[in-house]
Amino acid sequence: MKPVRVVTLWWMLLLGAARKGAAQESTFYYGTFPAGFSWGVGSSAYQTEGAWDQDGKGPSIWDAFTHSGTGKVLGDDTADVACDSYYKVQEDVMLLRELNVSHYRFSLSWPRLLPTGIRAEQVNEKGIRFYSELIDALLRSDITPIVTLHHWDLPQLLQVKYGGWQNASMATYFRDYADLCFAVFGDRVKHWITFSDPRAMVEKGYETGLHAPGLRLPGTGLYKAAHHIIKAHAHVWHSYNDTWRGRQRGLVGISLNCDWGEPVDVSDPKDVEAAERYLQFCLGWFANPIYAGDYPQVMKDRIGRKSVEQGLEASSCRRSHCRDTSVPVPTGSQQLRARCVPPFQTQYGDPPIYVTENGAPQRVPCSQLCDEWRIHYLKGYINEMLKAVKDGANIRGYTAWSLLDKFEWDKGYSDRYGLYYVRFIDRNRPRHPKASMRYYKKIIAANGFPSPREVDRWHREALDMCSIDNQMLAAEPLLSHMQLVTEIVVPTVCALCVLIAAVLLLLLLSRRS
């Protein structure tokens, strides 16, 4: 494993290929990725595991949030069972083997390992065993685990007792938790992600209240939470560097998400500046402190000025009123490569990049397994990533989001991101491959897009297969109905038979006597 400069940044590239029209199809780039490029899929604990109160797991803020009901989540869905992945390790690893991915990104549930959140209080051995078995099963299949320490499911007790990420002491509890994970899994796990999309976590958790813990602390809560998260990341990075890296030789990064912003009019310096400012507020907010040791200048300037306008104290300004609504919304692009690579390479010293999450939800239930539009999405985004690599971006791996349809936070089960369809109404939670899974599998096997003929053939084959799969899926309600017949009706009928036989026997006997 190559040593990394300061911090490896795992970075969700949001390449603007979604709006690719037919006219731009001619710009499709045929070619392959460098040898050893890592292909994967991802998931997170709360969204997939289920078993929310099993084997000693403590509650998380998401358990509390979903159980409080009252329309916080679409359809009042919970992830109490979700994909039931806690009980389906072997089955899920088989799906990964079928795709032949090089890595699997998943997250550890902090309250499954530490029920109260605090290591000094209680460690759940069954939680350690569960993740150990998953890691071992992956390694036996030659799949590299990429492990997220915190994907939004903070232990509920840390929230109710201490205010969660509003409290500076979270950084210490998080470091203790991370140290436990390094101690018990670090011999086998070499790729760590501290936080997944902390920006969404603080904006939705502490500003809008749409996500757990559901707090609305406008203008202050999110900056405070972000500040503690950045510090927690630094603590963990240094702890790994000082204590574990010598023996374990792994990487510790963070997964940051930002939509791309670009000037509405490139010849207008104000637009150019607005786009740059937008990126600093979106990505620089977390990346700058990690790479350069401080918040972006433009953030400090803006917040400073605004805080003066609003009569706030200078000391609190960094964390308040950062929102800038004057920034133009990102628009479609012709020159994606030119925009996408250089700022990152130049501002943050060309770090190795792993795309940790890239995918899109689907709400149309009728197309189910024939998700042709997702094929276009994956094809477009991965192709833009290939162009970026050819332009010199240091991208080492890509993670499609996600392996399975799963609990989608405030959207419940209505947003489906999976390469595999999950039938949530069936208590066995069966998984079915979508067309996009078959297509992605071909990209992985070819390590890119070798030729137009080949790529067209994948498309056709994936869609042929999915119509057959769809018919089977449509027949499934019938099958599960038959299952119902065998499980309930047949025993009932049998019981009736026995009863009738007994009555007949009695009658017979009574006649004889």
Q: Which residues bind ligand NAG (CB under 6 A)?
A: 100, 162-163, 167, 169, 238, 241, 445
CB of 236 to ligand NAG, least distance (A): 13
d(Cα 318, Cα 189) in Å, to the nearest integer? 36
CB of 170 to ligand NAG, least distance (A): 8
Q: Residue 192: which H helix or E strand, with range?
A: strand 191-196
By beta-carbon proximity to ligand NAG, the closer residue of 71 and 246 is 246
CB of 179 to ligand NAG, least distance (A): 16
By beta-carbon proximity to ligand NAG, the closer residue of 115 and 261 is 115
DSSP 417-476: --SEEE-TTSTT--EEE-HHHHHHHHHHHHTEE--HHHHHHHHHHHHHHHHHHHHHHHHH
In the bound state, the residue with its beta carbon closest to ligand NAG is 169
What residues have CB less than 8 Å from 3, skipping those under 6 apart? Answer: none
Length of the chain (residues): 513
Query: For the chain, percent helix, then strand, then coil, each to nearest 5?
Result: 50, 10, 35
Give, in order, the Cα–Cα distances in Å from 106 to each of 251, 393, 511: 16, 25, 71
CB of 244 to ligand NAG, least distance (A): 10
d(Cα 265, Cα 279) in Å, to the nearest integer? 16
d(Cα 62, Cα 74) in Å, to the nearest integer? 14
DSSP 242-276: IIIHHHH--EEEEEEE------SSTT-HHHHHHHH
d(Cα 430, Cα 91) in Å, to the nearest integer? 10
What residues have CB less than 8 Å from 362, skipping those under 6 apart? Answer: 371, 373, 374, 415, 416, 417
d(Cα 474, Cα 468) in Å, to the nearest integer? 10
CB of 286 to ligand NAG, least distance (A): 18
By beta-carbon proximity to ligand NAG, the closer residue of 278 and 354 is 354
By beta-carbon proximity to ligand NAG, the closer residue of 16 and 289 is 289
- HSE at residue 332, side-chain half, CA atoms within 13 A, is 6
How far from chain centre, in Å, is Cα 237?
21
- HSE at residue 355, side-chain half, CA atoms within 13 A, is 28
Is residue 206 a contact partner of residue 165, using CB atoms and an 8 Å limit? yes
By beta-carbon proximity to ligand NAG, the closer residue of 445 and 489 is 445
CA angle 162, 165, 168 (to 5 degrees): 75
Is residue 109 a contact partner of residue 52, using CB atoms and an 8 Å limit? no
d(Cα 391, Cα 385) in Å, to the nearest integer? 10
